[in-house]
């Protein structure tokens, strides 16, 4: 037991500091296989390429904790939680495509094409979403959202058949704007709420277009292999990205399977049961080796993207069943109370049902997250990457 005057977090920092200090002082030795021969060099400390990053990470961890302790009494806690959660969700993408990959931006194209397109969608989003969040617009807003969705879907069909050229980020932005338009009636309230929703759209477009530009820019790294990710970083990237992408998809599948709409319920049930009946290694092999054979001429998909896509679709099916168990635990009275105060179906689901269902689903979701990390080994067994 620790003394009452020694916080657990500082005790943990002390233990980590001892471990990191041992990397600099304890002669663990250097052992490796090179060309089939074992290299054993005793009496050496850990290589600088290992101990320096761990030291920097420990110092950053302690500094971030101390900064958070100071800022706790200076910031608005609910808003700070939203900002920190958003940064946490964004961190895997930034670390992978910005920090590790080090893209070489073509600033001439950035200022002539990328920034104008981003500003165009921010302005167009304001012109579309601000009227749609007006409480008095009624069904006209849904018709506008459906028209946008049909136009966005047609853009993707046109891309598949090569009917007319369009930047991929433009197609993605049109689709996301259509989805935001469908969600707009749920944010129909006072002017402050409407502007907050549009501000979120503007920030989302800025981050999305920045990441797309970084992904499409060539890397400055001099690669000695097929990818710039090592074994450990590749495991983290595949697992974290799979969890981030499969969570919203799994929640939607769970809602669809418990829906009162027969078509949605049948489609989600068929998808979940079909995917759960196929081994993960089969899905990974299909997406990495078989899927490219079905793509149109000139269209390619990166092997890492194919692996993450297949793993996401597989993980979402299992996550949907975990969330469905949580949905079934929500009392019927919660639905009736939400209906009694005039909430729409989307508001009832987002504000009443989902929070309670996810709280109940935390234990199986944690177990699945651990399983996702463990099963990344199948990427190597399947002959991919």
Q: Which residues pair with 378 in a beta bridge?
A: none
pLDDT band at 225 (very low <50, low <70, confident <90, very high): low
pLDDT at 275 over 60: yes
Dihedral of the alpha carbons of 156, 273, 378, 289, in degrees to the nearest 10: -40
Write down the pLDDT at residue 33: 67
Pairwise pLDDT comparison (118 vs 301), residue with the higher score: 118
pLDDT band at 385 (very low <50, low <70, confident <90, very high): low
Quote the CA–CA distance of 205 and 176 in Å, as a whole number. 9
pLDDT at 251 over 80: yes
State the average pLDDT over residues 233-237: 84
Pairwise pLDDT comparison (34 vs 216), residue with the higher score: 216
pLDDT at 221 over 80: no
Its pTM surpasses 0.75: no
Residue 302 has phi, psi (to 5 degrees) of -60, 145
- Other Cβ atoms less than 10 A from the Cβ of 45: the count is 16
Quote the CA–CA distance of 234 and 304 in Å, as a whole number. 9
Lowest mean per-residue pLDDT among 212-226, 230-244, 269-283: 212-226
The tens digit of pLDDT for each residue in 12-64 reads 889 999 999 988 888 877 666 667 677 767 767 777 877 888 899 899 999 98
Arithmetic mean of pLDDT over the chain: 85
% residues pLDDT > 70 (the chain): 92
Write down the pLDDT at residue 2: 46
Quote the CA–CA distance of 6 and 87 in Å, as a whole number. 30
- Where along the chain do its domains lie? 8-71, 108-222, 224-385
pLDDT band at 202 (very low <50, low <70, confident <90, very high): very high
- Sign of torsion, CA 235 241 243 249? negative
- Other Cβ atoms less than 10 A from the Cβ of 55: the count is 15
CA distances from 384 to 97, 302, 380 (A): 20, 11, 6
Write down the pLDDT at residue 382: 58
pLDDT at 122 over 90: yes
Quote the CA–CA distance of 259 and 250 in Å, as a whole number. 14
Q: Which CATH class is domain 224-385?
A: mainly alpha
CA distances from 138 to 111, 125, 143, 201, 347 (A): 39, 19, 10, 21, 16
The tens digit of pLDDT for each residue in 95-117 reads 888 888 888 888 999 999 999 99
Write down the pLDDT at residue 46: 76
pLDDT band at 4 (very low <50, low <70, confident <90, very high): low
Write down the pLDDT at residue 226: 64
State the average pLDDT over residues 326-355: 88
Q: How many secondary structure helices (H) and strands (E) does the chain include?
A: 17, 2
Write down the pLDDT at residue 115: 93
pLDDT band at 232 (very low <50, low <70, confident <90, very high): confident
% residues pLDDT > 90 (the chain): 35
- Sign of torsion, CA 217 220 221 226? positive
């Amino acid at each position: 037991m620790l003394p009452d005057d020694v916080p657990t977090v500082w005790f943990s920092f002390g233990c980590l500091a001892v471990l990191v200090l041992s990397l600099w002082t304890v002669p663990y030795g250097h052992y490796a296989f090179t060309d089939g021969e074992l290299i054993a060099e005793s009496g050496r400390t850990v290589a600088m390429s290992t101990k320096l990053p761990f030291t920097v990470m420990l110092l950053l961890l302690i500094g971030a904790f101390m900064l958070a302790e100071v800022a706790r009494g200076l910031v608005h806690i609910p808003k700070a939680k939203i900002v920190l959660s958003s940064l946490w969700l964004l961190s895997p993408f930034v670390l992978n495509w910005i920090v590790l990959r080090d893209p070489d931006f073509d600033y001439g194209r950035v200022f002539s094409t990328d920034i104008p397109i981003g500003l165009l969608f921010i302005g167009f989003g304001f012109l579309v979403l601000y009227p749609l969040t007006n409480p008095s617009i009624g069904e006209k807003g849904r018709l506008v959202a459906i028209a946008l969705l049909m136009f966005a879907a047609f853009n993707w069909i046109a891309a598949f058949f090569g009917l007319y050229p369009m930047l991929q980020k433009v197609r993605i932005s049109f689709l996301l704007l259509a989805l935001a338009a469908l969600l707009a009636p749920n944010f129909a309230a006072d002017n402050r709420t409407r502007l907050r929703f549009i501000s979120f759209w503007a920030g989302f477009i800025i981050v999305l277009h920045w990441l797309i530009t970084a992904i499409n820019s060539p890397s400055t790294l001099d690669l000695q292999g097929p990818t710039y990710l090592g074994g450990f970083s590749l495991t983290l990237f595949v697992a974290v990205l799979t969890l981030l992408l499969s969570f919203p998809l799994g929640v939607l599948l769970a809602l669809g399977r418990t829906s009162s709409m027969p078509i949605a319920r049948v489609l989600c049930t068929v998808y979940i049961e079909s995917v759960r009946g196929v081994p993960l290694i089969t899905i990974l092999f299909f997406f990495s080796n078989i899927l490219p054979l079905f793509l149109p001429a000139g269209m390619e998909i990166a092997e890492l993207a194919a692996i993450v896509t297949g793993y996401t679709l597989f993980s979402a099916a299992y996550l949907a069943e975990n969330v469905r168990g949580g949905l079934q635990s929500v009392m019927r009275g919660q639905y009736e109370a939400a209906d009694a105060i005039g909430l729409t179906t989307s508001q009832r689901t987002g504000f009443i049902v989902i929070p309670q269902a996810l709280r109940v689903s935390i234990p199986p979701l944690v177990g699945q997250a651990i399983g996702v990390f463990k099963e990344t080994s199948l990427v190597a067994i399947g002959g991919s990457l």
